[in-house]
Structure 1
Amino acid sequence: MTDFVFLHGGGQGGWVWDETIAALQAQAGEGTHRLLALDAPGCGAKRGRDTSAITFEEITAELVGDIEAAGLGDVVLVGHSQAGAHMPAMAELRLALFRQLIFVTCTAPDPGLTVVQMTGERVHKERHPFHDSTLPVRERYRAMFCNDMAPLEADAFLDRLGEDQWPPVCYSHSDWRYDHLAELPVSYVLCLEDAILPLAWQEYFARAVHARSTPRIDAGHQVMNTRPHALAEVLLCEALGEAA
């Protein structure tokens, strides 16, 4: 039995992993692995909390504490998008808790830059829906998150996007450390049609987090929603060395 723990990105909660968790259960068999989707403070089941004063270190400790409270160990930690800014800190806090880290089209900001600076000033420096003020916010998000979704699927996703908010400190923190990740097996799942993180930037971030493996899926940013079975197969192969 393998313990898989999932961490969501910005504007989302643990709910975003539902399709992939179902796909893992279908492929591996119900009860074969223990599966836990985390919620960051202010997200998912923790929505509505006052997170204005919480520190980055407190967020890290809470997420690690949630894993330990669930009785999990030797964990395969899977994170998406903004989760890439928090997974290294979780591993640094409790290295022995984690067997492996799998980043799924994640950001890994350069030391000294915030998530906002890394995204807005480097990744999206040139013209991009992120900056296109001529588009309503919902249509910007449709172009960024939903480019491989059917219209009704996109509308359903956009109706939920933004209900969850990571704490404010997550957008001012800039002290990133990655060297310790060289001690762990690290994979980075590249999404070939991602309209938020272009492939070249995904490869850049994969190098930053010392990824030893970079499997590819032909999908947009929300691969866990649009290609859950493909992602589940990759996760099983990366974590177990087996074909799903």
Structure 2
Amino acid sequence: MSDFLLIHGSCHGAWCWRDVIAALQAAGHHARAIDLPSHGADPTPIAQVTLDRYAEAILAAIEAPVTLVGHSMAGLPISAAAEKAPEKIARLIYLCAYAPRSGMSVASMRRAGPRQPLRDAIVIAPDRQSFTFDPALTADRLYHDCTEAARAFAASRLGPQPILPQEQPVTLTARYHSVPKHYIRCLQDRAIPPEYQAAMTEGWPDGTVSTLDASHSPFLSCPEALARRLIEVAA
């Protein structure tokens, strides 16, 4: 039996893992998700959110070592958490996420990609402290293989994404590198290009990278398949 802690990506919240948690629990595993600061039901003001606060929120939710899963931009917060307290993490799983490079931020990693499919989908707030996704483009970029019901579920819950934590670089040392890792590439991803996901994991050891034939949101489009993969990796 494994214990999973699931961390959402930009503009999302713990809500996006609903069906994956149900599938993991049905298979006999412990599984839960949290809202990162300022996301979902968390009341932290956007202006106070940093990458360090993301990492601290993750670690505060861990009592015994967990399999820590990060989606999309959460690749950097879960990595920062592993750098701070590797003893709390049995394994890191990156789900179509930014696989971190020390000294780089989410924003700099996004800009380093071969193409920018989200550029026209990001709407920056007037105060430039956060951004949202253009509702007219979210179905195509994030949920194109999801049911209409799943798209509506997500659209009603998406919220603003603080910009500051995405501009802050992560620093990684041997502490981070001591934690086992696995990367799940999504082959139909229209947010983080699949070829960039491959490039970010070039040189990873055999058996530490796998694929799902899914969009950027497999937690909604194929939650049972994703749960099975997470169980396999954690084992």
- Provide the TM-score with structure 1 as the length reference: 0.81
Letter in 1 for 2:142: F
From the two aligned structures, give the one with the greater helix fraction: 1
Residue 213 of structure 1, CA deviation: 1.3
What is the aligned residue count? 225
- Contact 1:186-1:210 within 8 A present in 2 as well: no
Residue 74 (structure 2) aligns with: 83
Q: Structure 1, residues 51-91: CA drift from partner, whole Å, max 9, x if none?
A: 413443233222201223xxxx1211111111101111101
Residue 35 (structure 1) aligns with: 31
Residue 154 (structure 1) aligns with: 151
- In the superposition, relative to structure 1, how do residues 180 and 208 fare at CA in structure 2: closer, same or farther (>3 Å)? farther
1:2 and 2:2 correspond:
yes
Residue 52 (structure 2) aligns with: 57
- Provide the TM-score with structure 2 as the length reference: 0.84
Residue 204 of structure 1, CA deviation: 2.3
- Contact 2:102-2:169 within 8 A present in 1 as well: yes
Match of 1:114 among 81, 90, 105: 105
Unaligned runs of 5+ in 1: none
- Contact 2:10-2:72 within 8 A present in 1 as well: yes
Residue 169 (structure 1) aligns with: 164
1:237 and 2:232 correspond:
yes
- Contact 1:76-1:99 within 8 A present in 2 as well: yes
1:131 and 2:120 correspond:
yes
- Cα distance in structure 1, aligned partners of 2:206 and 2:53: 26
Residue 13 (structure 2) aligns with: 13
- In the superposition, relative to structure 1, how do residues 220 and 117 fare at CA in structure 2: closer, same or farther (>3 Å)? same
The alignment partner of 1:37 has SS state of strand
- Contact 1:89-1:177 within 8 A present in 2 as well: yes
- Cα distance in structure 2, aligned partners of 1:132 and 1:83: 19
- Contact 1:13-1:164 within 8 A present in 2 as well: no
Q: Structure 1, residues 119-176: CA drift from partner, whole Å, max 9, x if none?
A: 2x332646x353379xx92222222101212344323322322x253x4421220234
- Contact 1:182-1:210 within 8 A present in 2 as well: no
- Cα distance in structure 2, aligned partners of 1:210 and 1:88: 18
Residue 50 of structure 1, CA deviation: 1.3
Match of 1:66 among 36, 61, 65: 61
- Cα distance in structure 2, aligned partners of 1:16 and 1:181: 27
Share of identical aligned residues, percent?
A: 28
The alignment partner of 2:98 has SS state of coil
Residue 36 of structure 1, CA deviation: 1.9
- Cα distance in structure 2, aligned partners of 1:132 and 1:58: 26
Match of 2:139 among 139, 142, 145: 142
- Cα distance in structure 1, aligned partners of 2:192 and 2:145: 14
- In the superposition, relative to structure 1, how do residues 208 and 17 fare at CA in structure 2: closer, same or farther (>3 Å)? farther
- Cα distance in structure 1, aligned partners of 2:114 and 2:156: 24
- In the superposition, relative to structure 1, how do residues 153 and 112 fare at CA in structure 2: closer, same or farther (>3 Å)? same
Letter in 1 for 2:25: Q
Letter in 2 for 1:130: R
Residue 215 (structure 1) aligns with: 210
Give structure 1 regions of 4+ aligned residues with deviation exceeding 6 angstroms.
Answer: 208-211
Residue 35 of structure 1, CA deviation: 1.5
- In the superposition, relative to structure 1, how do residues 215 and 109 fare at CA in structure 2: closer, same or farther (>3 Å)? closer
